[in-house]
């Protein structure tokens, strides 16, 4: 039985907790330890695993338990210290995105992985959404011809649910740039490699926090853009989107669309390439993306395979590109 500890039982901790529970139906895996400093969140997570040992602090869980893996679903500024401590104890580590929020921490994480050989995966979950998998496949195979241009993005309401309001503190979240925008940045790197040039526009709330970013890139001869917004109001419904123009037509995704994905050929009627089952959203059952992401991590551990998808290096390269973008934003 693969023994997993879940650290942080807030929004994403709950998502991974449910995904791991669903996975335990078919895999020899169990969450045996849970940590959250808010008792109500801890109690609610424990409902799925009544046998689990509970801790209020993530460090206590790591220090006290002998585990195969931990899931770190803490506010972003706490990822590095917990990941380092778990690696030193020989645990595999799943770290939510953004993997970390400073260059110094990128170096510390890479150094510790090289030294300990720990298996690490970063929660760059777009790589597990059916629509983005399809985009990657048709770009690589040139099914619709060569990719010409791509726009991506995600927009949502103001983020009010975080523990001690950590999202609104740039030193804790890295603003909308490291929190939301990093998803599209990672996917663009996965699709097209490192950009050859970029320019950035950002807007701030009256508090000074960046809540909107739009970056224009060139990947060789391919123009691309990515936009992310935390609206001033909490009410804006979340939407993620991309529009990829190929020689033979346009592939469009909108998470609020029904269906979410359409290919519009230059000549002819639109087609909807994925079946309803493959359109993924925040579905926690197979084949939902968070389930698939956790399944990939757990399969790699059970089958003793290297982690090749959403690696620590991928997570680090994504945040480093965002650091480059941040350096271009006016104070
Ligand atoms: N992949 C995605 O789609 C996605 C979506 C949302 C958030 N995230 C990422 O997931 C991470 C967590 O975000 P969230 O929305 O779940 O935040 P959250 O504030 O809802 O949850 C964090 C939890 O950590 C707990 N906590 C804080 N310090 C602790 C400590 N020292 N020990 C134990 N528990 C502690 C808090 O009580 C809280 O319940 C962030 O890095 C965020 O960027 C990823």
Q: Rounded mean pLDDT of 116-139?
A: 97
Spatial neighbors of 94 by CB under 8 A, at least 6 apart, are: 16, 69, 70, 71, 72, 120, 121, 122, 123, 294, 297
Given ligand 1 and candidates 36, 169, 310, which is best to mutate, with the most ligand atoms within 8 Å of its CB?
36
Q: Is the pLDDT of residue 7 over 80?
A: yes
- Give distance in angstroms: CA of 222 to centre of ligand 1: 35
pLDDT, position 288: 86
Q: Is the pLDDT of residue 168 over 80?
A: yes
Q: Is the pLDDT of residue 283 over 80?
A: no
- Give distance in angstroms: CA of 77 to centre of ligand 1: 10
H or E element: which one contains 16?
helix 11-23
CA distance 167 to 301: 32
**E runs forming strands in 231-304:** 239-246, 249-254, 261-265
- Give distance in angstroms: CA of 140 to centre of ligand 1: 34
Token duo for residue 293: 């992401």
CATH node for 2-124+294-310? 3.40.50.720
Q: Which atom of ligand 1 is nearest to the CA of 12?
A: 16
**E runs forming strands in the chain:** 2-7, 29-35, 53-55, 69-72, 92-95, 120-122, 147-156, 197-204, 210-219, 222-230, 239-246, 249-254, 261-265
Whether 8 is in the pocket of ligand 1, judged by its Cβ within 6 Å, is yes
Q: Rounded mean pLDDT of 204-214?
A: 96
The 10 Å CB-count burial string (b at 16+, else e) for 84-111 is: bbbbeeebbbbbbbbbbbeeebbebbee
Q: Is the pLDDT of residue 147 over 90?
A: yes
pLDDT, position 285: 46
pLDDT, position 330: 77
| Global pTM value | 0.96
Whether 14 is in the pocket of ligand 1, judged by its Cβ within 6 Å, is no
Q: 311 or 281: which carries more pLDDT confidence? A: 311
pLDDT, position 274: 82
Q: Rounded mean pLDDT of 63-84?
A: 98
Q: Is the pLDDT of residue 282 over 60?
A: no
- Give distance in angstroms: CA of 163 to centre of ligand 1: 7
Q: Rounded mean pLDDT of 232-244?
A: 96
CA distance 71 to 75: 13
H or E element: which one contains 289?
helix 289-302
Strand pairing report for 222-230 and 210-219: antiparallel
Q: What residue's CA is closest to ligand 1, atom 25? A: 8
H or E element: which one contains 23?
helix 11-23
Residue 315's nearest CA partner among 130, 98, 30 is 98
Q: Rounded mean pLDDT of 95-117?
A: 98
331 — pLDDT class (breaks 50, 70, 90) = confident
Q: Rounded mean pLDDT of 118-137?
A: 97
Whether 125 is in the pocket of ligand 1, judged by its Cβ within 6 Å, is yes
Q: Is the pLDDT of residue 297 over 50?
A: yes
- Give distance in angstroms: CA of 218 to centre of ligand 1: 33
Whether 161 is in the pocket of ligand 1, judged by its Cβ within 6 Å, is yes
Three-point CA angle 67, 299, 274, nearest 5°: 135
Domain boundaries, the chain: 2-124+294-310, 130-279
pLDDT, position 276: 58
CATH node for 130-279? 3.30.360.10
Under 8 Å between Cβ of 189 and 102: no
Cβ atoms within 10 A of the Cβ of 264, count? 14
Under 8 Å between Cβ of 84 and 61: no
Under 8 Å between Cβ of 15 and 290: yes
Strand pairing report for 147-156 and 239-246: antiparallel
Given ligand 1 and candidates 36, 42, 75, which is best to mutate, with the most ligand atoms within 8 Å of its CB?
75
């Amino acid at each position: 039985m693969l023994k997993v500890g879940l650290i942080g039982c807030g929004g994403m901790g709950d998502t991974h907790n449910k995904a791991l529970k669903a996975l335990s139906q078919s895999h020899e895996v169990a969450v045996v330890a849970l940590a959250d400093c808010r008792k109500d969140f801890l109690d609610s997570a424990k409902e799925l695993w009544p046998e689990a040992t509970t801790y209020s602090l993530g460090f206590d869980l790591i220090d006290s338990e002998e585990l195969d893996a931990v899931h770190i679903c803490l506010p972003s500024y706490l990822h590095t210290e917990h990941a380092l401590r778990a690696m030193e104890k020989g645990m595999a580590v799943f770290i939510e995105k953004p993997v970390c929020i400073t260059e110094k921490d990128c170096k510390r994480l890479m150094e510790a992985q090289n030294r300990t050989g720990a298996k690490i995966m970063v929660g760059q979950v777009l790589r597990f959404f059916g629509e983005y998998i399809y985009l990657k496949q048709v770009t690589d195979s040139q099914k619709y011809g060569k990719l010409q241009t791509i726009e991506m993005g995600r927009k949502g309401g103001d983020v009010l649910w975080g523990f001690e309001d950590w999202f609104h503190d740039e030193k804790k979240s890295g603003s909308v740039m490291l929190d939301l925008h990093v998803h599209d940045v990672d996917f663009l790197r996965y699709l097209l490699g490192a950009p050859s040039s970029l320019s950035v526009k950002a807007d701030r709330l009256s508090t000074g926090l960046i809540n909107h970013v739009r970056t224009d890139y060139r990947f060789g001869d391919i123009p691309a853009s990515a936009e992310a917004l935390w609206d001033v109001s909490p009410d804006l419904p979340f939407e993620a989107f991309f529009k990829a123009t190929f020689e033979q037509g346009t592939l469009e995704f909108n998470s609020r669309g029904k269906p979410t994905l359409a290919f519009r050929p230059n000549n002819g009627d639109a087609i909807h390439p994925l079946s309803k089952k493959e359109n993924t959203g925040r579905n926690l059952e197979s084949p939902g993306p968070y389930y698939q992401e956790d399944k990939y991590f757990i399969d790699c551990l059970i089958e003793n395979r290297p982690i090749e998808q959403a690696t620590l290096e991928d997570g680090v390269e994504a945040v480093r590109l965002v650091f480059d973008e941040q350096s271009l934003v006016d104070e």
